[in-house]
């Protein structure tokens, strides 16, 4: 079995396989831009995790998502800003930890959502809240 595969059959006994993921600065910019979804993990008030796939854009070191203000994820992030993000490709993992905060999106973020998803977040009545995620830790394939 390849040393980059995480499996209970490789003798790790489900422990972290340090050869699999290392600290990375950033994945290739086109990989992030081409990804359509990111997995977002938030924490419910009772401590249970909440995991959803969601559209996103980035601007510098910040990641942005847009969701409904009454959604579980929005309520969770307002109560506890600690989040984890992961790109969808489990064979080439890239995982971020960060702090989320509600923001008014700047024109650049609005334009990115429009360009990437043909979505004007300023006119959407259902998805009415934007969160900025400040990355505090990144992990991915070397």
Query: What's the confidence (pLDDT) of residue 97?
Result: 97
**Residue 28 pLDDT:** 72
pLDDT of residue 130: 98
Taking alpha carbons only, the member of 105, 54, 39, 50 closest to residue 77 is 50
Identify how many contiguous H helices and E strands the chain contains and give both numbers.
3, 7
Given the DSSP bridges, would you call strands 49-54 and 57-59 parallel, antiparallel or unpaired?
A: unpaired
What domains can you pick out in the chain, each with its CATH number? 24-140 (2.30.110.10)
Q: What is the pLDDT along the chain (142 residues), one digit of tens a residue?
A: 344 444 444 443 333 444 455 555 567 778 888 999 999 999 999 999 999 999 999 998 899 999 999 999 999 999 999 999 999 988 888 999 999 999 999 999 999 999 999 999 999 999 999 999 999 999 886 4
Instruction: Show Cβ contacts of residue 44 under 8 Å, excluding neighbours closer than 6 positions.
Output: 50, 72, 76
| pTM for this model (two decimals) | 0.81
Q: Looking at residue 12, what is its pLDDT?
A: 39
What confidence score (pLDDT) does residue 91 get? 86
Q: What is the pLDDT of residue 1?
A: 39
DSSP state letters, 76-130: HHHH--EEEEEES-TTS-EEEEEEEEEEPPPHHHHHHHHHHHS--TTT-SSS-EE
């Amino acid at each position: 079995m390849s040393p980059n595969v995480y499996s209970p059959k490789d003798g790790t006994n489900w422990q972290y396989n340090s050869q699999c993921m290392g600290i990375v600065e950033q994945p290739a910019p086109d990989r992030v831009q081409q990804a359509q979804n990111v997995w977002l993990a938030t924490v419910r008030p009772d401590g249970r995790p909440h995991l959803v796939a969601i559209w996103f854009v980035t601007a510098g070191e910040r990641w942005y998502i847009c969701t409904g203000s009454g959604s579980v994820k929005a309520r969770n992030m307002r109560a506890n800003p600690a989040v984890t993000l992961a790109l969808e490709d489990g064979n080439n993992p890239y995982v971020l930890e960060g702090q989320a905060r509600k923001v008014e999106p700047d024109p650049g973020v609005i334009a990115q959502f429009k360009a990437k998803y043909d979505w004007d977040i300023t006119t959407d009545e259902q998805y009415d809240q934007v969160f900025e995620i400040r990355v505090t830790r990144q992990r991915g394939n070397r």
